[in-house]
Structure 1
Amino acid sequence: MTAFGTVFTPEMILSRYDGAQWSTPEIVPSDSITLHPGAHVLHYASTCFEGLKAFRHADGSINIFRMDRNIQRMAQSSRLLSLPAIDEKQLEQMIVEITGRFASEVPEPPGSLYIRPTHIGTEPAIGKAAAPSSTSLLYVLLSPVGDYFSGGSTALRLLLKEDGMRCAPHMGMIKSGGNYASSLPSMMEARAEVKADQVLYCPDGQVQETGAANFLLIDGNEIITRALDSTFLHGVTRDSVLTLARDLGMDVQERDLSIEELLERSAKPGTEATLSGTAAVLAPVGTLIYEGKEYTVGSGKPGPMTAKLRQMMNDIQWGRSEDTHGWLTQV
């Protein structure tokens, strides 16, 4: 089976900022980028990206899910990294144009077309460690992907980690490659030592996020997740799932969740824990590992509410349910 996100369309779309204005977007081969070895991004990590998807509906139309929110977050990431301001309308047009160009490559559900806008600082200036890049490159890369759960939906194992965070607190809201890289040592260690799938960071004993996803706890009619602040990523999938939970009449609580409360609630029959993200929508969690002990979440298996919320979102994405929230943009 081909690994998720390793197949790309032969072309992408890009625009360059020359210090004064953005160039007219152009379609180029996907392997065509050339960078000066002194490019700012290669030395000072001036880079951010987004991940969103396009879906094929039964009528043959192609629809992009929550493009507006992803573009808004990319503009925020660029601003917080002091990269040149992106033209949000231009980026929207770039995404629509390149997705339309490769509409035939969008798989049938449960597959999709993964869309990866990326913004990097390009100024060749290794003396600018304390100054932003005055030039940049914005491109949109496409990757047709299959069913994330093609091998079956298995419950994940999470190691709860109180010391350290996924990234520096002031970088939390930025979707930047460096944030993912900084969490890799903890994740690799957790996999080697306790066979954990991911690390759930709990600074000061308060549940936050994993290295690549937001965390949600489902206890009966309650769904609990950390309230948004500047220290962690504001997931578009998280927002979408909470919106659907409210549609169901669930008690959505965005608040502090201590490790103690998490373990106490997890011991109750029927409790579920899940990770939210673009690739999987919701990935069930069955085991929590804390201070050398393993704690089973509910039955330890994928739960019915996690599956229901995921299916509700998939049905909107796939055009099988009404898009009452205006989340889809038809190409």
Structure 2
Amino acid sequence: MGRYATIAGTGRYVPERVLTNADLDEMLGEPVGEWLVENVGIEERHVMADTETTSDMAVVASRQALARAGISAAELDLIIVATDTPDYISPATASVVQAKLGARDAGTYDINCACAAWVTGLDAAGKYIATDSDYDHILLVGAYGMTRFVDWTDKYTCTLFADGAGAVVLKAGDEPGVLAGGLLASGEYHNALGIYTGGTSLPATLEVIRAQGKPRVQFVRKFPATFNTEHWPPLVRKVLAKAGLGLDDVALFLFTQLNLRTIEATMATLDQPMSKTHWIMDKWGYTGSACIPMALDDALEQRTLQRGDYVVFCASGGGLAMAAAVARWTLG
């Protein structure tokens, strides 16, 4: 009998504060809202409170996922936090989440490959459970507090980024769940989009802060506008082939939630209807490493996944890092 990782529960956290496109029009002193809706699909975004941290958001989403999975924090064997906006440079935010949940027996680590981190973690967690009997329950949470690093005068970033968290609990089972995954990267674009101060390359010294301001997310140089639409389809096809599946076998495709037009173009390239995907950037903005588990949780409230349905997850982020995975739905 085989051993597989299955998704046992999902959860999310959306901060209370809402920032609409009209709010940004006023803040920036120029109209950006109409362009955002037409070209990106974002109408509003949610922003974490001044008193909230990345780990706080992760914990709320995690508790919901644990409750739905019927698993206590004490039963967790591993906590993986996917984030590039950690509570601290060191130690890992996953350790903070472990302490706040009271998951004393769980190992911890963070994954930072920007917005591809959660899908990367899904691939890793699936392999842990499938190959090592020490891992029966894994909490995988994407948490994103990028508005802490936004320059609110920069219309190229403050219009996109938002905050939130999404989580899944994976458990060991004897029927197929997480089936296959794949990773790619185009490291030549590592200096195109990111937060470039605060690390060893450019420490946040007084001199650096005086010259460049506090650490902030920046588009430093351009990368191809068609990057995702060129790279997502072959990556999706590759992981489906590894699982012995075709495109028409998939019930739900979930992509990085940065741009609805990119998702539309990708689904057209794959010759799949938009009814087989789901998006959340219109109401929650771009939530980076949290966006795909948040989209999954939201999709489950609006549609029914049947036991045996296949779900594809495909993400990309700064670096440029990419990840895809396919899972068989075992709930319901």
Q: TM-score scaled by structure 1?
A: 0.25
Q: Which has the higher contact order (CA 8 A, sep 6+)?
A: 2
Bigger Rg over Cα: 1
Q: TM-score scaled by structure 2?
A: 0.25
Task: Name the structure where helix makes up a greater proportion of residues.
Answer: 2
